[in-house]
Structure formats: C-alpha cells, structure tokens
Amino acid sequence: MGPSDVLTMAKEEGVKIVDIRFMDFPGVWQHFSVPISELDEGSFEDGFGFDGSSIRGWQPINASDMLVIPDATTAKIDPFFEAKTLVLIGNIVDPVTRESYTRDPRFIAQKAENYLKSSGIGDAVFIGPEAEFFIFDNIRFESSRNMAFYEIDSVEGNWNTGREEEPNLGYKPRHKEGYFPVPPMDKFQDLRSEMTLVLESLGIDIEAQHHEVATAGQAEIDMRFKPLLQMSDQLMWFKYVLKNVAYRHGHTVTFMPKPIFEDNGTGMHTHISIWKDGNPLFAGDKYAGISQEALWAIGGILAHARAVCAFSNPTTNSYKRLVPGFEAPVNLAYSSRNRSAAVRIPMYSDNPKAKRLEFRTPDPSCNGYLAFSAILMAALDGIENKIDPGDPLDKNIYDLPPEELAVIPSAPGSLDEAIKALSEDNAFLLKGDVFTKDAIEMWIEYKTENEVNPVKLRPHPHEFYLYYDI
C-alpha cells in the first residue's frame, strides 16, 4: 500500500482522525493525532514534527526536534476510538540531516533484515512469538519513601476460594493447574475470543488461544509467524488490542513476566527461521532434522544468550521468572522436544518448511524490535563463525546430578548481570551498523539508572518479614 492508496482508504472509510504511532526506546507505543485534513501524499515524505526530549531514552533538550515519517504500508483502522481513526506507524528521522534515528527501535529492526540480505546467508527471517499474559480484575500498587505494596485480584485466583462472592461458585484453577480446563474453570474464553477476532479484523493471523498454566487468568494467544519487522509491528498491535479489549470489559492485562508468587511466570517463546530463495535454511539431515546452518545458529544464540537477554528479558522482574531449578528455560542448552532447554527444535511436523528454532528464554516485557533483532544477529553470528553448539541435551535437566548440571551455562540471574554481559559482548550486534554503540550505551545507561539502581536501593516488603525483629 502506497500513500495514494492510504488516502483512498481513508476517504472510503470516512476517516476523521489520523493517529501517528512510534516506539520509545524501552518499548512502549507513543502517539499523537491530527485531523485527516492534515494528511496528504507529502506527509509521507515531510513527516510530522514532535519533541524528542520528552521520549524516554531519546534526545537531550538542546536537540529535541524530531520528525516521524508515516509508513504507508502500516495503515490500519483503529478498532477502539469513537471517531473513525486511521493509524500509521512511523519511522523517526533527524529534521536537519534527514537521517534515520539510531535509537528508533523500528530502524534497528529494518537494519537487521537488511543485514541478513547483505550477508548472503538468507533473504527472509520469520519470527513467531508465543506471548503469554495475565488477565486480572484489579491491581493496586504503590512505591514511596515509607510504603511499598502491590495487591492483585482475579475472580479466577485460587486464593479466592473462600471469598464471599454472593455466591462464590468455585471453579478457580489451582496453582499450576490452569493448562487448560474447559469452562466454568476457564472464565475468559469469550474475552480471549474477542481479542482474537479484533486482531484478525486488523489482518493479524492467529493460530490459537487458550488458558495458560497459572491461576488467576494466565493466557496465551499465538500469532502466525511473519517477517521480523512485520511481526515487531504486530506485537505492538497485539499488546494494544489485548489491553483495550480487557479494559472495556472491566479487566486489566499485563505482560509483566512474574506478577504472582509461586506460580508460573509469563514467557514469550520465540520461533525463528531463516529462508533463502524460497527455501528453508534450517531444514536438513542433522540432529532433529535440522541443517548444519541451524546448528551454527543455535551455537550463536547460546554463545550470546546472556547479552541477548538484556533485550529479550529487559526488566528486573524478568529474572523473577528466570530462576534456576524451576521450570523456566535458564539452561543454555538445546534439544528436540525437551522444554527445559533454552533452545528447542519443535517436532510437531516433518515438513521442511516447519523447521525452526524456538528460543524459550524471552518474555513479553521486551521491545520486540530490539529483541527479535538481537536474536537474529546472534544466530547470524553463529552461522558466519560456524559456532559449534556442542551436543544436545535430551535428558531431563532437573534430574541431572549436580556435577553434570554445573557444566551447563545459565542465563543471567538479574537484569544487572544481563546488562553487564551486553557491555562485554556486543560486537555481533554492531555488524552492519544494526545496533550502534550509541544505542547500546543508551540502553545500558537507561536500564541501569531507571530500573536496576532504583530497585536495588528500595527496601523490599519481604525484608521486613525477614529482618524487622533483628
């Protein structure tokens, strides 16, 4: 779809408002709106100005002017606004030099796809994220100098079996038993179906929706795989749709990785496959039906996984999920079928076109543009340098004796560790100028100053339980 097609679409749909959207650096959609009269074909070259100093991780106040250039191929009609609204996702450029902005996450994803093509290894990369989430009824939290608390509630929460609900009808999933009984135990089938249908109305292909393992409304909706940039755009629509559908029904959705103690956290197992000339590069006659290139790609992902986690698991809360000894895929090994390994080769089909790698460590708190790009760059580095992933680990990791488990490397134990790994291992990201030094340094600085240090400095409520009477 080109600019003229967008204008025709707007006229046919009776559009009144144009909503321009783009990503801040941490990964939250930003937007502003203009009347449809302000959009013409020149808008797709001239763009719209805004103050970049107010966007997290972006420009200093003395260089704040930025331009957002709408991408005509992203045009969709918003399903929630009262006035008919056309949504366009934009690319960020400097108003003086007209150069693309190095801290624009969408630009990084575009460069990652371009680097793949220039490498000669492949010409397309497909990403399929399995984004989990929670549907809650109520969330209260506060973090101040003399107080810190959070309180979550859900009609499905197993802690509410004794609550006076006038009447309490029971059917609340026990901890770790939400995968996946039919209603009335599952209370969100209709809500998830509505989310699915709204996503499909936006042209986003959905494969399945279901309840997930945890009590209190944990769920998953799976999008069909798409090229990296397209999937990064879709992930933003995905989060936007789920939050707004839930909101209009009096619920709230969170992609926070570990909101509930002693129950399953929220992951985003991410499938990746590289193709060349219409053929799947990862299909072959090696282990589990994959190719030598796929094995090298696994080697790259495992070799750089600790640094990749700074983008794929980018919150302090991410590491409440990635705890050794539990079900999270913290062990940097690979296997067919074994879900306790960080990289899995799905065995659902013998079709060569279905051969792909599943990186199970990421979670949906990530900025998809950055996380998917980092995963691709790690895989490409593995192929380029023929990194041997070693032998597969087909045993149950949790049954291994301590001496065997000790030699298996592990994902970072904290965001601090992941940031440190990124600072020490980022050359693979700099290839093709995909990630720039400026972008990586800002990511490390932003995460350290705004997330790692503030969490370190604050007393934790559980510390009062442990230590107040010392």
> Is 269 noted as a catalytic residue in this protein?
yes
Nearest 5°: the CA angle 414, 237, 197 is: 120
- What's the Cα-to-Cα distance from 54 to each of 42, 365, 370, 462, rounded to whole Å? 26, 22, 21, 35
Distance CA 215, CA 395 (A): 29
Q: Write down the catalytic residue from 71, 78, 113, 132.
A: 132
Tokens 């002693």 — which residue?
A: 262
> Is the Cα dihedral 371, 324, 329, 389 positive or negative?
positive
Percentages (nearest 5) of helix, strand, coil residues in the chain: 40, 25, 40
Would you say 262 and 146 are in contact if contact means Cβ atoms under 8 Å apart? no
DSSP-based three-state secondary structure for 140: strand
**DSSP codes, 17-43:** EEEEEEE-SSS-EEEEEEEGGG--TTH
DSSP-based three-state secondary structure for 335: strand
Q: Write down the catalytic residue from 41, 51, 404, 449.
A: 51
What are the structure tokens assigned to 423, written together?
Answer: 């600072």
> Is 220 noted as a catalytic residue in this protein?
yes
Q: Looking at this protein, which amino acid is placed at residue 299? A: G
Alpha-carbon 323 to chain mean position:
19
Q: Write down the catalytic residue from 24, 104, 113, 130.
A: 130
Distance CA 106, CA 24 (A): 10
Tokens 């006076």 — which residue?
A: 164
Q: Write down the catalytic residue from 21, 269, 306, 344.
A: 269
- What's the Cα-to-Cα distance from 203 to each of 29, 135, 195, 197, rounded to whole Å? 19, 24, 13, 10
Q: Write down the catalytic residue from 174, 249, 337, 339.
A: 339
Residue 267: exposed, middle, or buried by beta-carbon count in 10 A (0-12, 13-18, 19+)?
Answer: buried
What are the structure tokens assigned to 190, written together?
Answer: 């209709």
Q: Write down the catalytic residue from 156, 263, 358, 363.
A: 358
Q: Write down the catalytic residue from 271, 304, 306, 360.
A: 360
Distance CA 156, CA 158 (A): 6
> Is 358 noted as a catalytic residue in this protein?
yes
> Is 132 noted as a catalytic residue in this protein?
yes
> Is 130 noted as a catalytic residue in this protein?
yes
Tokens 């624009």 — which residue?
A: 104
Nearest of 220, 217, 194, 198 to residue 207 by alpha carbon: 220
Q: Write down the catalytic residue from 24, 104, 113, 212.
A: 212
**Residues recognised as catalytic:** 51, 130, 132, 212, 220, 269, 339, 358, 360
